Structure formats: structure tokens, C-alpha cells
Copies of this chain bind each other. A is one copy, B any other.
Amino acid sequence: MSAKIEVGILGATGTVGQEFIAELADHPWFEVSWIGASERSAGKAYRDATPWRLTVARPEAVADMTVERVVPGNAPRLLFSGLDSSVAGEVEIAYAEAGHIVVSNARNNRMDPVVPLMIPEINAEHLALLDRQQAERGWSGRIVTNPNCSTVVLALALAPLRAFDLQRVIVSTQQAVSGGGYPGVASLDILGNIMPLIRGEEPKMETETQKILGELGGDGITLHPVVVSATTTRVPVINGHTELVSVELGQSVDPDALIGAWSEFIGRPQEEALPSAPPRPVVYLTEEDRPQPRLDADRDRGMTVSVGRLRTCAVLGHKFVAMGHNTVRGAAGAALLNAELMRVDGRLD
């Protein structure tokens, strides 16, 4: 136990912060020893600072901790950030300047050219960008980010298709309300209804995907040339983003080859057997009415993206459905996997 690495949670009272605490409860390498949140919560016991809203029980050890103010200094070196984007940008940079390693789920620093935007199965080598942060930003610490929840699902479904010259993508999402935080989406807006707009979401899917799939060279990341057009909507589902995807490939390829590419796809997390890694990051479901968020979001503790319904698209060539757990694979679990990869790469030493 004493050998575990102490970690802190920035934004510990929010939805993503709670998810971090839940997933770290029995982690073999990391142990939560510090929790930070806004002034409103600081000084309170965690159990009094916020109602717990997850179905898994709140870890007792954390319930008794005192919530700290979010100011660089007394926190552990390694921090998971579930901060709201209204404050995350500056706060995370302040921590990085003060020598902390910030593993962030916030959008603010994702597109910074010296900040890796990671999905470890896809672009583990992008971690090398971290070496530029001291030189180009003067940070004694580091910032590493994971993508937006809807981007994670799309990027994992697309990554195995790069082998077939991935060119253009049209994606429509049906996103769960947990992605909107708490209180987040008003019940009057979503009960028996569809919200056809998630503000700011579509550009994130279109640009983050290019960075994630991009190649690391001497000058940083070269964006992948894939053109993505996204329509993002909110649906009355608690967990699990469903994405309807049409893709255009430069190569003629039969369906079995695509299914094979998804099924065989693995990366560093699987090779290293990282604690949060699923056996396979993508599974193809052969049942004709899958994936479904209610039945498939929790697959492999929420870390697997499920793909199904591969068919011919009369316009772009191929179409399919992808679905993944937005607060696990799309948020807290993604950040955890990033930290685990950093450890085996010696970047937490």
C-alpha cells in the first residue's frame, strides 16, 4: 500500500471528479491523497461538500478527506483534473508551472501543439510531446490531455481504418446526459425529447480527431488529413454515447477486412497490460441490433468501444454504429489510462 503513488483530484466534487474517485478506489498503482475543489467546497469534509451521484458506493477513505483549495503548492505531484472548462485552462497551467503533472480531461489545453492529446491505443508515441513543454512553455511540470467524450468513441472506431486510407467521415451522435455534468441538462429539455444542439461539441470532434490520428514528427504533430463532419445531439440516456458513422476510404475493401481491423486492433495499453486497459479497445458485435447504450456501455468496466451494423453506405462507401461509455472511456477512464501509460514510460519518475 505504501508503495502506491499519491494522486490528487482537481475538481473533485464535479461529475468527472466523482468518477475519478470511484475508479481510483482500488487502483493497484495510484491512491487518492488530496482532493481539491472550488472555494465553496474548500474546508468541508468531502462527504459534506457534495452529494455523491454514482451508483458505485463512495469510497469511505475519501469521504472523510477535507476538500482543499485549488492553488498550486501542497498537492501531490500527480494530479487528475476534472475541472470545469471555465477555469481549467489557467489553473492547469499554473499547476504545470509549479511542477505538477496534470492529467486533464478538460478541453482547454487539448489543442496546444506541445500538449499530447492521447488515446494510448492509438498514439502512445505522442507522449514525446511532453519533452517540449519545458523548453517551449517553461513548465517544470507537465500537462497531458484526453479527448472530448464523443471524440474518443469516434477516434477509436476510426483508428483501425487508417490502414485503408481514411478520407472523409460523417458522424451523427446521440449523447448521454451524464456528459453534460450536474445539474447539467434540464429534465424539461430531454425527457421524451431530443436536443439537436450541444454547444461547441461539433468542432471538437472535427479537429481533435485529426490531432489524435496525426503523426508525430520533428516539428510536432502533423494532423491526419481525414475530413470529419459532425452533428451532435443529446438524448435521454444516462451513460453511453451512440455514434452513427459513414466513412469514405481510399481503398476498396470488403466488410470482413474492416471487422478484422477492429477486432485485431490493440496498442500499448494491451501490450503493457495496463490496469485500466480492456482486453480489446474495440469489439465488433454481430447481433444486428447492437450496440445499445443500456446493454453495452459497461463492457469491460466501460473501457471498450462497441461497433456494429457495418453496412454499405450508398454515398461514402461504408457505415456503422459505434458506442462507448462517455464518463469512463470518454473521460475518467481515459485519463487514468494516460497516467498508467506515463508510468510504464517512466514519465512519472
Contact = CB atoms under 8 A, between A and B. Distances in A.
Interface of A: 51-55, 57, 168-170, 172, 174, 177-178, 180, 182-197, 206, 227-229, 231, 233, 235-238, 242, 244, 246, 248, 287-295, 297-299, 308-309, 313-316, 319, 321, 323
Given A170-B315, A228-B314, A187 B197 contact: no
Contact of A316 (B180, B192, B193, B229): B229
A316 B180 CA distance: 29
Given A53-B188, A188-B182, A192-B192, A170 B294 contact: no
16 contacts: A53-B188, A55-B298, A168-B315, A170-B313, A177-B191, A184-B186, A187-B187, A190-B191, A191-B191, A191-B236, A193-B237, A194-B292, A196-B244, A196-B308, A228-B314, A248-B315
Nearest to A174: B194
B321 A231 contact: yes
Given A182-B186, A194-B242, A229-B313, 13 more contacts: A51-B289, A168-B315, A170-B315, A180-B187, A185-B187, A187-B187, A187-B191, A191-B192, A192-B293, A193-B295, A194-B235, A229-B316, A236-B236
State the oligomeric state as a number of copies.
Answer: 4
B233 A246 contact: no
A309 B199 CA distance: 12
A197 B298 contact: no
A288 B294 CA distance: 28
Contact of A196 (B183, B193, B242): B242
Contacts of A242: 194, 196, 233
Contacts of A206: 314
Contact of A184 (B57, B188, B238): B188
B55 A321 contact: no
A212 to B, nearest CB: 17
